[in-house]
Structures are given as structure tokens and as C-alpha cells.
Structure 1
């Protein structure tokens, strides 16, 4: 099951084509101050971009901030092209029908932080119930940057799985998600037919202060899989998530597999939600700010 509200962080760098060394990204730098570039890119994408092949749309809704070197706001992400029924959650009666031409749009928080004297910037993207427009935005930014500065290239590297400061972080529990088994197995156990089953196996440290392993040693618990699956104790699972201590807080991080996006940090229990069911701006921004500082402290050199 995908995290309800997740955050993914990317380390962004600029390199001259054919060279490996990242360039400074602040004011007066070549080819640009990256903050100015992102501010301009966001301003040029406030009208919907339509991804025709996948029937998706997205556009920025920037929010002014007194913080220096930060661009943030919402990416409004929409889907269309299919019908569905909307029912009352209590009565189960249909309230209305969504047509294929209806656009369902959700707000996803984003933040870009570009310190003034650094070779790296950080960008955070929110996901909601597995829905995310990260790949669309990232691809559009890379292509736009290459068009504007043809002698340079922009790169995005996901932070969490490869971050060195997480290497020795204690892992309190590991959960293996959705084994590859038929539903008839659960039908026999429960004595009735099941349409859908979520099944997880959790390995947890027994002592209060104990740990399963360090983050860097998680691979020793999991065998190599096929087609995105992983193996544990003779069974194949779709994904693995770990309870890891990050920056003084325990957080759940997606680690391996197809059923869980690697590097996605679960903040579902850490944010407040408004009446729409989406996180409030203050609560999601607070989570991003905290994690930004933790990650940047380990990668800025």
C-alpha cells in the first residue's frame, strides 16, 4: 500500500557537458543563479501543461515566502480520460458519475531550496495516495534547462536511498509488503471469499532501545528478487519499508521493490489535514523544512 502522504527529495546539480564536477549555483554563477532559473520556470508553468499520452495535467501555484533562497507552493496535478462512480462513504449510494472528460485535480506541495554558496540545491515533492507528478516536472525542467543553456546539464539524484548521513541510522523495524500469493490462500484461512487482501510481515526490534540493523545494512536482510520483487524468509514481496531514525524523529522510508517507491518518506502521521483531507500548508512545510536541513547537512560538501 502506498503512503497516504509521502515526500521525496532530490539533490540537484549543474555540470558542464562532458565534465563531472558540479558547478556553484548561487548569484553570479555560470550559467545562472539556479534560484532565478527555478523562479522563472515556475512562473512560466502556471497554466496547465497537458501530458497527452497519459491524460494528465499539471501546473504550478507558487506561494510568496519571506525566506531567502526558497521557491515553494503547490503543483496542481490532474487526471482524466476514464469514468468512475462517486458514492457516499457511509450509505454506499452513488452521488454522481465522473465522466471521461472530467478532470480530477489534487494539490501537491513542492519546495526548492538553493543555498547561496553551494554546488547543490534540494527539491522536495509531495505525493498523495501514490499519486505524483514528479517525473513530469523533472523531465520538463531538465529539457527546459538544456534548451536555455545548451552547454550545461541539470541532474536530479534522489536523496534518501543514497544519503550518507542515513548510513548508520538505526532501523527499528522492517515491513515486507504484499507477498506474491493467491487470494485463495486467504479464502481458506478466513473461511470466506476475499476480493482484496493487504498482507504485511513486520520484523521489529524486541528491546525498546534495540535495532534491527543500520540503514546501510538493510540489504543483508533482503535477497535479490525478480521483476521488482524482493525475497525474505523464502517468500517474495512487492516492497519493503523501514522505520528509521532521521534527524531525531522516527520516520518510515520506502526501501526496495515495486510496491513501495524507494526513497519515499512517509509523513502521514506527522502532518495536519484540513477539511479536504490534504495536509495544511504549515504542517507539510514544517516537515519539508526539517528534512531539508537534515539532508543538506550531509551532502553540501
Structure 2
């Protein structure tokens, strides 16, 4: 499976009185003294320590355990194992078609996820980086546990976690790096469109790409117009000779020897993931080693910090 990093902002909002009328912008607090004296970094540290012993949420049937917690200045990082329990099932070996284990309701299939949280002083916005493995992540589960812990400790305040909108960061990476490839992607293209198999064959959906070399076509002007116009990504590149109606455009950018991939069709929805699959070291269980993902995530954090807090 591919390994990604997803970025989020973390804030604290002071709740307004129920009798307060009118629409007002959120009342965000300074993170290092959000109620006048408590530091969110210390609160998160205590929350993670609690996750080493109090590891279940029976309302949502979520198991979550923190381990290898490390403090580094104004940041904290470690691993979280997370999974769902509450449903019994059978585990079957697909090679032998035999049942190898009967899963009980109290069994949880857990996966490890790396996290890094940065809480700067004298600001109302922190940064949280979470690992994703394929389609699996911990954003929702982590937020559920943290919100419950925080609301019990500080009932007059609320934690807010949002996807980090990185359009400006992406622009700077695109303009500061070298575009290597531009890939026009069609999702679930039927197999017979390109293979021309005999009539009556089974059509198998798959993704199809047309790859254009960045050193042969001047993409930057087109991408600049795309950002400025906020137009559809389908109008970015015209492929008349191929008669290819693509769904999105992905750009591979080399920035100081690091290859980054951005899906331009997802920028305005904030669904930005940093693919680190080719950078992490995989252990015997097919998971990234702690040291390798820690090094990559800390480097990525510096990049985000330099853009948000120049």
C-alpha cells in the first residue's frame, strides 16, 4: 500500500454564550495560553499519555493506543494504533480458502499511524501531520478521542481540526521547483477502449493516463492561468490528437531532489496528500519504520512552517 502524509490545522475556539446573538467570526485563542494559562501542547501531551492506558471508546467502538511518544521543543510525535471492534467475523486465507481465525467482538484489527503535532507560541493555529496508509487514516478517530477529552477538561472551549488548505504552498512549490511530468488521468476507463478485444469480453475498469514530459511543453503558463481563473482542470490541457476526455491532471514536481505529486483537480477541495511511499523504509511487517517516517515528516513540517510562518 502507498504511504501518505496529510496536513491539518488545529485551533481552539472559545465558546460564546448561548444568548449571544448575531453572526461573528470564530473566537480563536492563542494556543499556548488559550484560557489564560493552559498550553495546548501540554494538554495534548496529557491526552496522549492517557491513550497509553485508556484506549477504547465504546460509543463508537474505536480502539486507539499511543506509543513511542517524543517531545521536541514545541512539537510532539509518535505512533497511534487504531482500529474498530464490536463485530464478529471470520478471517479466511484467500490462498487456501480456509478459515484461519474467528474474530470476536472484542477483537480490533489495528494499524499503526505516525503523527506529528506542532503548537507554536503566540499564534492561534497549530499544524498536525498524520500518516495515511492506502485508504486508511486516523483523522476522524483521533478527532473523536481528542474532542471528548478536551470538552471534559475545558467545557468552555472547543478543539477545531481542519484540512490544511495548501494552495499557496503548492503554488510556491510549483513555481520554485521543476515540473517533470504532467499526467492526464481518466478514472475507470473501460479496457476495450485501448485493447480492442473480441466482442463479448468482460470489461474491466481501470485508470488510464496520458503522460506529458515537462521539459518539452511549457506548462507553467497554463498552470498559472488555471490558478488565476479558478477554472475546471479539464480545460488545462487540450488533447485533440488523442480524443481523450480526462478527469483530472496530476503534476510531478522536483523540489530540491524531492519528487512531489499534486492532483490539480483536488486543490480547491483541500484533499492534498504527500506521497512518501518511495521515501520510507519498510520493515518486515510491510509498515514504514519509525525512524524513516519521522525524518521525512519533520522535513515536511519545516516546509509547511516556512510557508505559513515565514
Question: TM-score with structure 1 length normalisation?
Answer: 0.75
Q: 1:110 to 1:217 in 2, by over 3 A?
A: same
Alignment-derived partner of residue 173 in structure 2: 169
Q: Does 1:30 align with 2:36?
A: yes
The secondary structure found in structure 1 opposite 2:124 is coil
Quote the Cα distance in structure 2 between the aligned partners of 1:108 and 1:235. Answer: 37
- Number of matched residues? 282
Residue 196 (structure 1) shift = 4.6
Quote the Cα distance in structure 2 between the aligned partners of 1:261 and 1:131. Answer: 18
Alignment-derived partner of residue 4 in structure 2: 6
Residue 286 (structure 1) shift = 1.0
Residue 169 (structure 1) shift = 2.8
Alignment-derived partner of residue 227 in structure 1: none
The secondary structure found in structure 1 opposite 2:110 is strand
Q: Who wins on radius of gyration, i.e. which is larger?
A: 2
8 Å contact 1:205–1:211 — kept in the other structure? no
Quote the Cα distance in structure 1 between the aligned partners of 2:219 and 2:234. Answer: 20
Quote the Cα distance in structure 1 between the aligned partners of 2:91 and 2:245. Answer: 35
Alignment-derived partner of residue 99 in structure 1: 102
Residue 8 (structure 1) shift = 0.4
Alignment-derived partner of residue 18 in structure 2: none
8 Å contact 2:5–2:129 — kept in the other structure? yes
8 Å contact 1:16–1:152 — kept in the other structure? yes
Quote the Cα distance in structure 1 between the aligned partners of 2:103 and 2:137. Answer: 20
8 Å contact 1:25–1:119 — kept in the other structure? yes
| Correspondence list, 1:14-25, <5 A | 14-17=12-15, 19-20=25-26, 22-25=28-31
Alignment-derived partner of residue 284 in structure 1: 293
Residue 282 (structure 1) shift = 0.9
Alignment-derived partner of residue 85 in structure 1: 92
Quote the Cα distance in structure 2 between the aligned partners of 1:190 and 1:111. Answer: 50
Q: Does 1:132 align with 2:124?
A: no
Question: TM-score with structure 2 length normalisation?
Answer: 0.74
Q: Does 1:155 align with 2:160?
A: yes
The secondary structure found in structure 1 opposite 2:206 is coil
The secondary structure found in structure 2 opposite 1:108 is strand
| Superposed CA offset, 1:52-101 (max 9, x none) | 66x6x3313232435222222111122454444334xxxx4457535343
The secondary structure found in structure 2 opposite 1:235 is coil
Aligned-residue CA RMSD (Å): 3.7
8 Å contact 2:182–2:214 — kept in the other structure? no
